[in-house]
Amino acid sequence: MASENQELKWIGTSPVRPDGTDKVTGRAKFGADLMLPGMLTGKILRSPHAHAKIKSIDTSKAEALPGVKAVVSAADIAEMPSEWVPAGELQLNYRDLASNIMARGKALYDGHAVAAVAATSAAIADAALDLIAVDYEVLPHVIDVEEAMAPDAPVLHEDMFTEGVTPTPDKPSNIFKEIDIGIGDVETGFAAADLIVERSFKTAPVHQGYIEPHAAVASFAEDGQAELWCSTQGHFTARAYCAKLLGMDVSDLRVTASEIGGGFGGKTTVYVEPVALLLSRKAGRPVRVVMTRDEVFRASGPTSGAANWVKIGVTNDGKIVAGEAVLKYQAGAFPGSPVQPGCMCAFAPYDIENVKVKGYDVVTNRPKVAAYRAPGAPIAEHAVESVLDEVAKKLGMDPIELRQKNAAREGTNAAYGPKFGPIGYAETLAAAKAHPHYSAPLGPNQGRGVASGFWFNVGGDSCATMNVSEDGTLVLATGSPDIGGSRASMAIMAAETLGIDVADVRPIVADTASLGYTFLTGGSRVTFATGMAVIEASKQIAEELRQRAAKIWDISVDAVVWEDGYAKPAGANAGDFEPLSIGDIAAQAGKTGGPISANAALNAQGAGPGFGTHICDVEVDPETGRVTVLRYTAIQDCGKAIHKAYVEGQIQGGAAQGIGWALNEEYIYDEKGRLDNPGFLDYRIPVASDLPMIEAVIVEVANPTHPYGVRGVGEVPIIPPMATVANAIEGAIGVRMTELPMSPPKVLAALDNGR
Amino acid sequence: MAKIHVTTTINGEPTEFLCEPQQTLLDVLRDELRLTGSKEGCGTGDCGACSVTFDGRLICSCLALGAEAEGHEIETIEGMAEGENLHPLQQKFLEHAALQCGVCTPGILIAAKALLEKNPDPSESEVRYWLAGNLCRCTGYDKIIRAVLECAADMRGA
């Protein structure tokens, strides 16, 4: 069996992905691509108001329209008690989830679902929505996070009394929770500082921006069992949420994950899935619900916008003696912003004795936020990495050198709790400093920025089933939706462990009835955690193959080794028999004990934290304020790259999303609290002509808990870009930008003020 | 409302369908003809996931009506490979890992093919501007641009 000490045959290569041909030919079936006989079209009526009491909903005219087969509203979902469950890196509350699926009593944001219909055609469904009469009483609304925290702000939830403060307030507010983390004593720390820099920052809510809108097809049978097909990052978690909302036994709901057209965290919860199920149950026919892009922007995602303040104290030799931050994240209409991980990540890359971070989780009249790639971290680290850049400039120190002097290393006590094991932050900094990009010349109006990022990476529940076919090829089933090439990395790890050809492993994503519970694709966990299940199943197969070979040869199993894809006689029997391939053994499986099959079910612990350091060159047009990214290099410790090209792809894609967050993307509301830019024309994600090539540099400091050293890749690369770009702009124009996005009007204003 | 009878050619095949007047070409391809390789990412012509060619010209099929296909030739992703042979762009996308989730891929391939038919030797900037109407949220475009450039070079050499 291969081990990390042996030469690796497949790991680190880039074979063509097993699902590739389906995806370049249009064959791959995504959420909206399934059609069932008798299927109805479901559509959702949404609130046009940011905040309104729902006095009544009259669906009688819609129900009477020929072709309408079902109408549902909050009345069709049982009221839930408040109960928090894990959802990706975040927590989800069933009571709030139910109210987000269908507004109960109040509509809390523009786009909040109020009712839904299923009809025999899209045109009839649209007509039916127009016939639903909702009597609203419009209430004052609040969009901005700091305005929502003001004592006289309109209150979204009358039963929300801030948690985390003693005594609990006697008045409801929009502050769901206060969070405090830290170590040491910042007062003492700042007292020892030679230089203190503090700044306030604002970040805009940004959408995950997956190109495939949410889509689900549900089919309920008369006996109460149902099937659900949906675009999701986790079909097991989608099953859990939907079964809860519909009052079903979990095993009565079979969920199949379609191919998923991007998620980035935004498909870790449910929106249209329970609605399709409710409509199907009522109509007795299959129902498909697909969001429009307008609905995606108004009613799903995004991540928080925030108002942050950071203060850092250093000695003249560049040692950080204290770091303090206040982070105010808006959660959207229901509590649960990623402020907790934001607080934990803020200073995590650094070895600082005195750290204090205060976080606020604040509700506003916007869509409930969803996880977005390293949820919470980019928002907090943008502020810290911007202030560090300013500190470096004031000290006259190279910004990488400042980070090197303070970088967390193995044994560093992180401010959020743990002591780091082997980590690769220092290695990414060294690689950045040595990269030719860092010393390349710059032209007029150009600047260079550098910044870093930290993310925990997570493990969790995963299963893998491996069946050896009669010809010795393998089917490998996991429960992790393949969002960016994970089938390929699973096949690579199986082939490496068994010593066989990667083309002989056929990886599939199994539905919820065909495999044990597997937590969702998120937290950069799949290659790590599901990978560990795959390796475990592969080892079981290898062990079984040894036993079968021993039977065939009629020798002790101890005298058989599995090596380079063959069972070989060893010890005293060495050379006595011709080695047997997996195909040779599979052909005789019936005679040696039956089919060869393995199942691994585990909870993967010991995810290895990830660090990245990015370098960016920009040119600022002094006439228009437009920022052009000229060159971008993203360096990251991945532990071990399993499929090299898809690891690079994760880094490049995360960097591109971060550049969009830095320069273009934001939710814009009108005075009535309605989203003004719910489309890709006005919410502008980076297009091909906006970006240069993005050079991904992989650093490998092995995570000792994974057999091949995997840490996880997907999330870290979105963290550094906002500060990297801001620091580059500062280098170009000499002005510190503190508000995202750094769009032309803001840069122009900064230029005018700075002049 | 009476449906419209349309006679057209799709991927070289003579095709007839019935559609409602308001149905887009994309709706017809997906819902009536079950050619679901063309994707709806926005429905407003901003994302390019529904890209097809209409008499050889690149369009967003969400911005055309099904009825407009009458008498014209439509090419979709389903017609890009020839039998068992992938188009060189499809092959190059696989080799370069120029797709992650894959939902924008059909539109990008159709758009890239239209580019190379018009301009067999595009510069990086020309590829980037030509594909600026095809959004990809996963890749940062790097591997897509490289795949198109390398494919163009191969096809010129062939």
Kindly report the CATH number assigned to the domain that includes residue A497: 3.30.365.10
A596 domain residue, yes or no? yes
For A749, left (φ over 0), alpha (ψ -120 to 50), or beta?
alpha
Residues B27 and B50 in one domain: yes
Question: Is residue B27 located within the same domain as residue B58?
Answer: yes
pLDDT in tens, chain B (158 residues): 689 999 999 999 999 999 999 999 999 999 999 999 999 999 999 999 999 999 999 999 999 999 999 999 999 999 999 999 999 999 999 999 999 999 999 999 999 999 999 999 999 999 999 999 999 999 999 999 999 999 999 999 97
User: Is residue A594 in some structural domain?
Assistant: yes
**Inter-chain residue contact A25 with B77, CB threshold 8 Å:** yes
Instruction: Name the residue with tokens 């082939």.
Output: A495
Residue A122 three-state SS: helix
Q: What percent of chain A has pLDDT over 70?
A: 99
- Per-residue pLDDT, A87: 73
Place of tokens 């017809």: B28
Nearest to B138 among A259, A262, A290 (CB): A262
Separation in Å, CA of B21 to nearest CA in chain A: 11
Q: What is the pLDDT of residue A264?
A: 97
pLDDT at A487 over 90: yes
Above pLDDT 90, what percent of chain A? 95
Residue B97 identity: A
CATH code for the domain of B15: 3.10.20.30
* Structural domains in chain A (count): 1
Residue-wise pLDDT tens digits, A308-350: 999 999 999 999 999 999 999 999 999 999 999 999 999 999 9
**Is residue A544 in a domain?**
yes
> A653 to chain B: which residues are within 8 Å by CB?
100, 137-140
Q: Which amino acid makes up residue A586?
A: A
Rounded Cα distance between A554 and B31, Å, is: 60
**pLDDT value of residue A572:** 87
Alpha-carbon distance of B80 to A527, in angstroms, equals: 33
pLDDT for position A6: 64
- pLDDT higher than threshold 60 for residue A1: no
- The sign of the CA dihedral A13, A19, A24, A29 is negative
Return the residue in A16, A680, A687, A713 with the most chain B beta carbons within 10 A, the one to mutate for interface testing.
Answer: A687
Query: Considering only CB atoms, which chain A residues are within 8 Å of B109?
Result: 24
Band of residue A593 on the pLDDT scale cut at 50, 70, 90: very high
pLDDT at A91: 82
| Residue A510 lies inside a defined structural domain of this protein | yes
Contact A214, A333 (CB under 8 A): no
Q: Considering CB atoms only, which of B20, B38, B93 is closest to A24?
A: B93
Two tokens, residue A237: 């978690």
CA nearest A494: which of A458, A462, A468, A524? A468
What does residue A706 show for φ and ψ, rounded to 5 degrees?
Answer: -100, 135
Residue A566 distance to chain B (closest CA, Å):
29
Last residue of a domain, one of B79, B97, B120: B79
Number of domains in chain B: 2
Q: Are residues B9 and B75 in the same domain?
A: yes
CATH number, residue B125: 1.10.150.120
What span, in angstroms and rounded, lies between the C-alpha atoms of A490 and A645? 14
Query: In this complex, do B99 and A23 lie within 8 Å of one another by their Cβ atoms?
Result: yes
Provide the whole-model pTM. Answer: 0.97
Chain B residues in contact with A302 (beta carbon < 8 A): none
| Confidence (pLDDT) at A2 | 43
> How high is the ipTM of this complex?
0.98
**Which residues in chain A are closer than 8 Å to B136, comparing Cβ atoms?**
211, 688
- Structural domain boundaries enclosing B9: 4-79
Of B86, B101, B146, the CB nearest to A261: B101
Whether residue A741 is preceded by a cis peptide bond, meaning omega within 30 degrees of 0, is: yes
What pLDDT is stored for residue A4 in this prediction? 47
Tens-place pLDDT, residues A537-573: 999 999 999 999 999 999 999 999 999 999 999 988 8
Asked if B103 and B124 sit in the same domain, the reply is yes
DSSP SS3 for B39 = coil
Write down the pLDDT at residue A755: 56
User: What is the residue whose two structure tokens read 């989800």?
Assistant: A92
Last residue of a domain, one of B79, B102, B119: B79
Q: Which of B23, B44, B79 is the endpoint of a domain? A: B79
pLDDT band at A3 (very low <50, low <70, confident <90, very high): very low
Whole-angstrom Cα distance, residue A186 to residue A335?
29
Is A486 part of a structural domain of the chain? yes
Structural domain boundaries, residue A503: 20-27+459-604
Within a 10 A sphere around the Cβ of A671, how many other Cβ atoms? 9
**Using DSSP, how many helices (H) and how many strands (E) does chain B show?**
5, 5
Q: Which residues of A720-740 are buried (b: 16+ CB within 10 A; e: fewer)?
A: bbbbbbbbbbbbbbebbbbbb
Assess if residue A467 is contained within a domain: yes
Q: What is the mean pLDDT of chain A?
A: 96
B58 & B118 share domain: no
For A499, left (φ over 0), alpha (ψ -120 to 50), or beta? left
